């Protein structure tokens, strides 16, 4: 007679042996550690490379742990970036033992031989070869890349690029740039502008949303020039409309946009879709002096930049705007730098990334002989960083007393509390016990500590962006589906 308890017993034995197989499989996996320097585009590309290595029985570990394979994705935007890359490479080289060290990306593209000659580097892969990075590694180390058969019950892969320990996803929609600003090496190391297809973008976002990501950040070098002639997508705005129509993504974020491509179309689109499109833009200014902008070959002047910001702020209350500025461009005077400070202090931007100019071989600006005194550059840099901190504090102050929606990003070492990123890109320290997943949390910002907004203990909810939250006078949160 058929005994149900036998079935249960058999089922539980099967589950146990499956778990054992899975455990054995996980314990025997090789270890992959990655490190990214530079921009979000690089972060996306690191994840892409890692997602192609992982099927060869590799498990991701932290970069400071012992691994079998280290991949460092580099940046070469300034001399300082090159030096940081060399430092990271030499740190790994000292501790890696018999592990393999692969260096990829922009620094390889700009100075391949120097990178290849660094102690401990086993393989270099430039940007043009990034797409076949796994093939190059597996050809070089067939044993390391030998694949075992994964137990069927151990498979949990969705096939979607997983963003290691990250709760927000990035998606590269284009690569390269045709603009050739006089200081910039990016068009040389990344090549001309190439757009992904709109269909691929939609497919990837749908996969990311299915994998649980609520936010996707669109990245690229010059995403404002997106178009896809194979379908009816003639501009970035067309692509954004398509994403909202054809995916269920809760939160879409644009990364950096060149000021001249921020059209009335994009601004109206963003203002009409604040439930799903983040109130945030990063608009590189580079200099507040028209003379320097022209020498940099930037296709706008300060008046145009300020006009764009005024339109954005009028249409999108609460928007956070970041900006890049370069100090010490050849020929920059104290007056030029004062023009940059004037814009920064006016409150146009809410924070700045301040870069120090450095000559990059092959760029036009290297030929300008009138270099700045490093002491002047250091002084200007310090002043702009100070302004940036003050502007960010003002942005935080404006957010106090409001509900904000945040996705947790990382844990504070000292308190163990999670902090998250709001739709308008402010950091908020979440209440105890909240965070550590990909969900959108709605919290009440009630104070500021250091560089964070601090969320109070009330009105904490995990909601989709299709819900509204309001705070009643008693301090209770009310959630209603829209």
Is-contact 342 384, C-beta < 8 A?
A: no
In the list 81, 101, 102, 184, the residue contacting ligand SF4 (rule: CB under 6 A) is: 184
If the CB atoms of residues 151 and 176 are measured against ligand SF4, the closer one turns out to be: 176
Buried b (16+ CB within 10 A) or exposed e, 402-415: ebbbbbbbeeeeee
**According to the binding rule CB under 6 A, does residue 257 interact with ligand SF4?**
no
**According to the binding rule CB under 6 A, does residue 363 interact with ligand SF4?**
no
Stretch that binds ligand SF4, among 38-46, 178-186, 367-375, 409-417 (CB under 6 A): 178-186
* Cα torsion 215, 220, 222, 223: sign: negative
Alpha helices in 216-326 (DSSP H): 236-246, 264-272, 290-295, 302-315
Q: Is 212 exposed, middle or buried (0-12, 13-18, 19+ CB in 10 A)?
A: middle
Q: CA 291, 256, 209 angle in degrees (round to 5)?
A: 175
Helix axis angle, 236-246 to 198-210, nearest 10°: 40
Within 10 Å of residue 149's Cβ, how many Cβ atoms?
A: 8
**According to the binding rule CB under 6 A, does residue 266 interact with ligand SF4?**
no
In the list 101, 181, 308, 354, the residue contacting ligand SF4 (rule: CB under 6 A) is: 181
Is-contact 196 172, C-beta < 8 A?
A: yes
Q: Residue 418: enclosing H or E segment and its boundaries?
A: strand 418-422
If the CB atoms of residues 33 and 285 are measured against ligand SF4, the closer one turns out to be: 285
Count residues binding ligand SF4 (CB under 6 A): 10
Give min distance, CB of 109 to ligand SF4, in A: 14
Stretch that binds ligand SF4, among 48-56, 179-187, 346-354, 375-383 (CB under 6 A): 179-187
203-222 residues near ligand SF4, rule: CB under 6 A: 221-222
What letter does residue 366 receive in the DSSP assignment? G
In the list 99, 104, 186, 242, the residue contacting ligand SF4 (rule: CB under 6 A) is: 186
**According to the binding rule CB under 6 A, does residue 285 interact with ligand SF4?**
no
Stretch that binds ligand SF4, among 181-189, 347-355, 379-387, 472-480 (CB under 6 A): 181-189
Residue located via tokens 């910002």: 445
| Per-residue CA distances from 87 to 26, 175, 274 (Å) | 32, 27, 42
Stretch that binds ligand SF4, among 8-16, 183-191, 224-232, 305-313 (CB under 6 A): 183-191
Closest CA to 212 of 258, 147, 158: 158
- In three-state form (DSSP H/G/I as H, E/B as E, the rest C), the secondary structure along 92-125 is HHHHCCCCEEEEEEHHHHHCHHHHHHCCCCCEEE
If the CB atoms of residues 185 and 454 are measured against ligand SF4, the closer one turns out to be: 185
Give min distance, CB of 92 to ligand SF4, in A: 28
Helix axis angle, 264-272 to 236-246, nearest 10°: 20
In the list 84, 91, 179, 403, the residue contacting ligand SF4 (rule: CB under 6 A) is: 179
Is-contact 277 309, C-beta < 8 A?
A: no
In the list 101, 102, 171, 177, the residue contacting ligand SF4 (rule: CB under 6 A) is: 177
Give min distance, CB of 325 to ligand SF4, in A: 12
If the CB atoms of residues 180 and 203 are measured against ligand SF4, the closer one turns out to be: 180
If the CB atoms of residues 177 and 434 are measured against ligand SF4, the closer one turns out to be: 177
If the CB atoms of residues 177 and 421 are measured against ligand SF4, the closer one turns out to be: 177
**According to the binding rule CB under 6 A, does residue 180 interact with ligand SF4?**
yes
Give min distance, CB of 329 to ligand SF4, in A: 12
Q: Cα–Cα distance between 266 and 259 in angstroms, integer?
A: 12
Stretch that binds ligand SF4, among 26-34, 53-61, 177-185, 455-463 (CB under 6 A): 177-185
| Per-residue CA distances from 272 to 209, 291, 403 (Å) | 22, 36, 20
Q: Cα–Cα distance between 444 and 455 in angstroms, integer?
A: 5
Give min distance, CB of 186 to ligand SF4, in A: 4
If the CB atoms of residues 292 and 428 are measured against ligand SF4, the closer one turns out to be: 292
Give min distance, CB of 138 to ligand SF4, in A: 32
Give min distance, CB of 11 to ligand SF4, in A: 58
Residue numbers at the binding site for ligand SF4 (CB under 6 A): 177, 179-181, 184, 186-187, 221-222, 258
């Amino acid at each position: 007679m058929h005994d149900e308890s036998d079935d249960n017993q058999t089922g539980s034995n099967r589950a146990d042996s499956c778990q054992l197989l899975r455990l054995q499989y996980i314990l025997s996996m090789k270890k992959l550690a990655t490190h990214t320097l530079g921009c979000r585009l690089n972060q996306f590309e690191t994840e892409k490379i890692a997602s192609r290595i992982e099927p060869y029985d590799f498990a991701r570990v932290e970069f400071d742990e012992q691994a079998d394979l280290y991949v460092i994705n580099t940046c070469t935007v300034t001399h300082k970036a090159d030096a940081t890359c060399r430092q990271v490479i030499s740190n790994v080289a000292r501790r890696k033992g018999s592990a393999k060290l692969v260096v990829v990306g922009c620094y390889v593209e700009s100075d391949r031989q120097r990178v290849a000659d660094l102690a401990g580097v086993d393989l270099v892969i430039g940007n043009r070869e990034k797409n076949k990075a796994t093939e190059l590694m597996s050809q070089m180390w067939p044993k390391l890349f030998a694949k075992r058969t994964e137990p069927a019950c151990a498979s949990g892969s969705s096939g979607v690029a997983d963003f290691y320990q990250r709760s927000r996803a990035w998606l590269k929609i284009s690569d390269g740039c045709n603009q050739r600003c006089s200081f910039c090496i990016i068009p040389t190391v990344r090549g001309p502008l190439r757009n992904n297809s709109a269909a691929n973008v939609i497919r990837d976002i749908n996969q990311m949303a299915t994998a649980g990501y609520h936010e996707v950040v669109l990245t690229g070098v010059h995403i404002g020039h997106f178009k896809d002639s194979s379908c009816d997508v003639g501009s970035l705005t067309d692509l954004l409309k398509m994403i909202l129509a054809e995916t269920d993504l809760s939160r879409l974020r644009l990364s950096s946009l060149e000021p001249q491509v921020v059209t009335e179309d994009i601004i109206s689109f963003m203002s009409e879709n604040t439930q799903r499109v983040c109130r945030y833009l990063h608009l590189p200014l580079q200099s507040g002096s028209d003379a320097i902008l022209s020498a940099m070959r930037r296709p706008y002047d300060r008046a145009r930049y300020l006009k764009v910001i005024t339109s954005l702020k009028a249409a999108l209350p609460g928007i956070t705007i970041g900006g890049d500025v370069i100090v010490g461009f050849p020929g920059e005077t104290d007056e030029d730098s004062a023009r940059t400070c004037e814009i920064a202090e006016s409150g146009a931007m809410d924070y700045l990334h301040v870069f120090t100019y450095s000559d990059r071989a092959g760029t036009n600006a290297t030929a300008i002989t009138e270099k700045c005194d490093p002491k002047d550059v250091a002084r200007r840099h310090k002043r702009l960083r100070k302004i940036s901190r003050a502007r960010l504090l003002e942005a935080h102050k404006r957010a106090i007393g409001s509900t904000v929606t945040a996705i947790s990003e990382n844990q504070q070492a000292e308190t163990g509390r999670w902090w998250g990123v709001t739709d308008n890109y402010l950091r908020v320290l979440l209440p105890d016990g909240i965070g550590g997943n990909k969900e959108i949390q709605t919290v009440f910002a009630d104070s500021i500590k250091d560089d964070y907004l601090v969320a109070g203990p009330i009105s904490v909810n995990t909601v989709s962006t299709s819900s509204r939250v309001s705070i009643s006078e008693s301090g209770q949160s009310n959630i209603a589906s829209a």
